[in-house]
Structure 1
Amino acid sequence: MSCAGQTVRHHAPVLGTRAACHRPRGDLPSGLMPQPLLSVVVPAYDQQGQLAECLDSILDQSFGGFEVIVVADRSAQSPAAVAQTADDRVSVLRLNAAVGVGRARNAGAARAQGRYLLFLDADHLVTPGAFLTLADRLRAEPEAEVVLFGHTRLHRERVWPGAAQAVLGGLGAAAFTPVERPEVFGVPAQAWDRLISRELWMDAQLAFPDGRYEEISVVHQALLRARRAVALADELVQLRRRQTVHPTASPGASEFDLFDQYERSFELLNGLSLTAADLVRPFLFRRMVQHYLFVLDLAGCVSRAERPQFFHRAAEHYRRLLPEGFRRPGGREGVKFSLLAGGSYSAFEVAKLTQIARTAVTGRNAS
């Protein structure tokens, strides 16, 4: 069997430690298992030694109708060996080359048998009771093709809320069509804070592209193709790293892949009616600009030598993709939008340094 041009070999199950050897009461014996509700795909990139905890958080779920597909390639970040387990909900797919997280996820999705796909990474934790919450929601809305839910981020021993919670809370309990609630295109496009039905995945021929920020266009395509979606404000997954972007991309990837990913997303709007495209475009544009500014603000994300080039690429996207009648946000964020629209990197850097100095002075005065 081949996947992404690579031979796939099936190895013994790879699991965590705590919950590896028992199945929740009420599950059927091996060979009699019904179709799982969820297929959880976990690329086995484990730079921080967190994979076992991630898998334990999955296997500890009180709802047992799921399978876990761990995908390991030959990259240095993928563990060469892990402990075996008797839990038959877990299988392992090992690829014979270093392919990156996007192709690893695609390989797992191709093997999945569940009704819904959930893509997690080694540095995610699933909150207790999360799968039962999702199962209950899907019992009420069995035709949902996408299920959105909240997440948190753990960084420097602080828990930060996800950027989508305010939007999710405003969507209400009823099912909706994403293009008719275009605010969902204004939140970060993550693969791990939503379920995507496997039927939609196959019908829309979804696949993660190569490069960094590989989730963006896939998430947007799923939303654009979905006829029925539901949202939960519950925070069901926690991310345990500083950035939301996965650190292990395909060979040759760079921060500049971000521009290609948003190009793909805006090209998808060409398949919509003019009315639908006009609804979605302002939200997608604002999210894109926010993302570019976030990357520029994040220390060490783009090298000092490459910052001017990154800024000018972002400014070009701003001018070319600007929706007619778009209103910039207010406050400090609006100032950043204006500086990017102006296209002057020197003015942007001066404004940033001025803000840093003002913040430092304010901090000293407060102390």
Structure 2
Amino acid sequence: MTPTQAAEPSPTPRFSIIVPAYGVEAYLRDCLDSVLSQSFRDFEIIAVNDASPDACGEIMAEYADTDPRVVAVQLEQNVGLGRARNAGMERARGEYLLFLDSDDTMLPGSLLAVSRRLEETGDPELLVFDYARTYWDGRVSPNAKRSVLTASPREAVGLDGNPELLELLQVAWNKAYRRDFVERWGFEYPTGYYEDTPWTYPVLVAAETIAVLDRICVHYRQRRQGSILSSASRKHFEVFDQYDLVFAFLAEHPEFERWRPALFERMTFHLGVIERMPGRLPAGARAEFRARRLEAERAHRPAGYREPENSGAKEAARRRRPADRLPRRLRPAARRAYRAARKLKKPVRHAVLMTYYRAQRMLPVQKDTAVFAAYWNADYACNPAAIHQKLRELAPKVKSTWVLKPGARNAPPPGTAVVHPGSFQFWRAMARSKYFVNNVNFPTLVVKRPGQVFVQTHHGTPLKRMGVDLVDFPLGQKDLEMDTLMQRVDRWDYSVSSNRFTTAVWDRAYPSTYTSLDYGYPRNDVLVNARDEDRAQARAELGIAPDAKVVLYAPTHRDYMAVPRPLLDVEHFAQQLGEGFTVLVRAHYFNLGSGPGSAEGSTVVDVSAHPSVEQLYLAADCLLTDYSSLMFDYALLDRPIVLFANDWETYRATRGTYFDIHAQSPGHVAATETDLVDVFLSGRWCDDTSAKARTEFRRRLGEFDDGRAAERVVRRVFLDDEVDPPAVISPERPSRPARG
């Protein structure tokens, strides 16, 4: 959360900003931060948790505890967006009401611009401002009807003076509403889909003074998946009830009857869009919807109403659109033909391999076969290796194949087939196997066949930005093409997660329709289940004395460095610590070969080539890292963690992060080498403050890791068994204290 020096809100703030939330843990912090960081500060946020099943309620409570301008309203039952907004309005004290959906954000300076515009126009009952749509791949598109705002009168007028406002998108969050106006009319949101419709139109009709601000104040997030209105459901039929409410309002207020023709036209247009929109109505429901549409048009048609003169032309144009789009539909085929022509220039081997792969895909998928890979085929390791080992135990009949490059540090157990990436054996395995397990992605050329099952295990809890969240960080994104990434993500059936925070991040970073397996990380089972004898064995294999103080230094990769260079002089650091310490150094797998080496007589040992990072964890008394996901795994051992963050601002600006490690740290954070040495020599590295920070860190980010993650994945995916949810392990786990 962005730190603020917020003063107590005034008894009657200028704005009450109502933020209802349900199932948007991954976006809620961005939303709240976008408001709290505004230069205009006279506001309150009323955050309404609509009984969300994720951590929305906890996030709201956290913000309310740290900023008095945030009021957290926790609803005991899910009531839907409309009634959640009503609950927020009941608590509002501001002169004006604003609504902000919890996956959207407010642009910097927006509240100041809104306040100034209200003052300029004499505090009108309503102010309408602009917005832009933002997409998962980084695109930003302006409001298609922005010309309505640019052409609006500069003074505040009623709808008679600016009737084109009815053409704007029917949403609550592009307006500021004077609270006494809303209360005088008794406006409330109804339940159900399209709840903005019977709110927006009556508000526009009833307001005597409406001002316009031609400025983009809100970024309207277009999620790749998860939008209610873009999902197929019979709930779309609720739009008819919402328009009944609109016309009931006109019947109750005959002074507004002159607006019936315009609202009737908006209704017919809206219903037509829903009827024609692919993916909204369930299969077989379109004819029923059309009948309901015609019934609604008969019921609400104004007396003596005549179709506009150009309506026939519009309908004819609409009917011609499929033919008009025909050339565009041919473009993908043309692009494929062009790509096929280009392939003729590639080596004959590639063409032969692809022909072989296509032929293999014509054969049946083989049951009880699985392909595993990890770290771009570089090693037998991580979550895929842990799942494979448990699979051999629980389902030995499944024949496994591992994809490995030559020279891997680890080899799979005997009896496991090994294929090289890109070989004939590789393409046969990809064509015929039923199960696929990887902690990254398989090549884009892999075609997922019906009956094949993909399990994405990932390889860490994300501190740094991932997936589509990299669109604003070109150094981190590099040559990653988002369309290609999404093609790969759409193949996933399952995504493994170690905590709710990670589940929420994967949901926004890799938007698709996979099922999240909230089971813990299989690679961490060995840590949760470790005993003292495991620690002793790990040390013995490394040749480390039982009473040595061992620091494992494992930095992460820096995207902003063209050539890796050390950010810590490890030899000097070890000399400063003295003979009582041994420093193990493990380079990031992207930077293998850049380790310090191991000089004779030095207390620094290069373990970059060691086959098991988990064994290094067990041997160490303390993890020294920076922004690596190793910290989340190591915390499960309840041993000290120290972070060396001497380039935090550069890293955060170039790669992006999901939280601030200074605010949510597993231990002490040092910004300079001098401070880092002092953390160890003073004993702070293993003090009570460090232990408390680690406990809270583990509570939030290790909640699913109870030592049975691999078993759950195998039983759910390969054996189709029901599995017990992860046991809630107390963060006060039996500690194996380091010796200070």
Q: TM-score, normalised by structure 1?
A: 0.79
Q: What is residue 5 of structure 2 aligned with on the other side?
A: 22
Q: What is residue 195 of structure 1 aligned with on the other side?
A: 176
* Structure 1 residues 302 and 320: CA distance shift in structure 2, 3 A: same
The counterpart of 1:360, out of the listed 329, 338, 354, is: 329
Q: What is residue 125 of structure 2 aligned with on the other side?
A: 145
Specify every segment of 5 or more residues in structure 2 that has no aligned partner in the other structure, as ranges: 339-740
- Pairs within 5 Å for 1:188-337: 188-241=169-222, 247=228, 254-273=235-254, 276-278=256-258, 280-323=259-302, 324-327=305-308, 329=310, 333-335=314-316
Q: What is residue 14 of structure 2 aligned with on the other side?
A: 37
Alpha-carbon distance in structure 1 between the residues aligned to 2:206 and 2:329: 47
Q: What is residue 342 of structure 1 aligned with on the other side?
A: none
* Structure 1 residues 53 and 333: CA distance shift in structure 2, 3 A: farther
Shift of 1:180: 4.3
Structure with greater Cα Rg: 2
Amino acid aligned to 1:97: Q
Conservation of the 8 A alpha-carbon contact between 1:179 and 1:223: no
* Structure 1 residues 76 and 310: CA distance shift in structure 2, 3 A: farther
Alpha-carbon distance in structure 2 between the residues aligned to 1:237 and 1:131: 10
Conservation of the 8 A alpha-carbon contact between 2:11 and 2:93: no
What SS does the aligned partner of 1:214 have? Answer: coil
* Structure 1 residues 335 and 359: CA distance shift in structure 2, 3 A: farther
Shift of 1:116: 0.7
Alpha-carbon distance in structure 1 between the residues aligned to 2:140 and 2:147: 16
What CA deviation, in whole Å up to 9, does each residue of 1:110-144 have, x standing for no partner? 10000111111111111111000011011122330
Shift of 1:297: 3.6
Amino acid aligned to 1:102: G
What CA deviation, in whole Å up to 9, does each residue of 1:88-113 have, x standing for no partner? 11010111111111111000001000
What SS does the aligned partner of 2:236 have? Answer: coil
Alpha-carbon distance in structure 1 between the residues aligned to 2:168 and 2:241: 18
* Structure 1 residues 322 and 114: CA distance shift in structure 2, 3 A: same
* Structure 1 residues 48 and 333: CA distance shift in structure 2, 3 A: farther
What CA deviation, in whole Å up to 9, does each residue of 1:40-77 have, x standing for no partner? 00012243610100111101111001100000122436
Matched, 1:101 2:81: yes
Shift of 1:302: 1.4
Amino acid aligned to 1:360: R
Conservation of the 8 A alpha-carbon contact between 2:45 and 2:69: yes
Shift of 1:362: 7.0
Identical columns (%): 30
Matched, 1:183 2:164: yes
Alpha-carbon distance in structure 2 between the residues aligned to 1:357 and 1:128: 42
* Structure 1 residues 79 and 312: CA distance shift in structure 2, 3 A: same
Q: What is residue 26 of structure 1 aligned with on the other side?
A: none
Identify the structure with bigger relative contact order (alpha carbons < 8 Å, sequence gap 6+).
1
What SS does the aligned partner of 1:199 have? Answer: helix
Q: What is residue 348 of structure 1 aligned with on the other side?
A: none
Shift of 1:181: 2.9
- Measured on the aligned residues, the alpha-carbon RMSD in Å equals 2.9
Conservation of the 8 A alpha-carbon contact between 1:73 and 1:95: yes
* Structure 1 residues 75 and 57: CA distance shift in structure 2, 3 A: closer
Conservation of the 8 A alpha-carbon contact between 1:163 and 1:188: no
Q: TM-score, normalised by structure 2?
A: 0.41
What SS does the aligned partner of 1:128 have? Answer: coil
What SS does the aligned partner of 1:55 have? Answer: helix
The counterpart of 2:91, out of the listed 111, 119, 124, is: 111
Alpha-carbon distance in structure 2 between the residues aligned to 1:157 and 1:331: 39
Amino acid aligned to 2:26: G
Amino acid aligned to 1:87: D
Amino acid aligned to 2:222: R
Matched, 1:170 2:158: no
Shift of 1:353: 5.7
Specify every segment of 5 or more residues in structure 1 that has no aligned partner in the other structure, as ranges: 1-16, 24-28, 340-350
* Structure 1 residues 214 and 305: CA distance shift in structure 2, 3 A: same
Alpha-carbon distance in structure 2 between the residues aligned to 1:106 and 1:95: 12
What SS does the aligned partner of 2:177 have? Answer: strand
Amino acid aligned to 1:35: T
Conservation of the 8 A alpha-carbon contact between 1:36 and 1:115: yes
Alpha-carbon distance in structure 1 between the residues aligned to 2:122 and 2:97: 15
Alpha-carbon distance in structure 2 between the residues aligned to 1:189 and 1:254: 18
Q: What is residue 47 of structure 2 aligned with on the other side?
A: 70
Conservation of the 8 A alpha-carbon contact between 1:45 and 1:78: no
Shift of 1:268: 2.1
What CA deviation, in whole Å up to 9, does each residue of 1:278-325 have, x standing for no partner? 3x2333233222322332343321112212211222233334434513
What CA deviation, in whole Å up to 9, does each residue of 1:190-224 have, x standing for no partner? 10000111101111111100111111111112122
* Structure 1 residues 261 and 47: CA distance shift in structure 2, 3 A: same
Conservation of the 8 A alpha-carbon contact between 2:19 and 2:101: yes
What SS does the aligned partner of 1:238 have? Answer: strand
* Structure 1 residues 77 and 257: CA distance shift in structure 2, 3 A: farther
Alpha-carbon distance in structure 1 between the residues aligned to 2:313 and 2:55: 41
Conservation of the 8 A alpha-carbon contact between 1:44 and 1:78: no
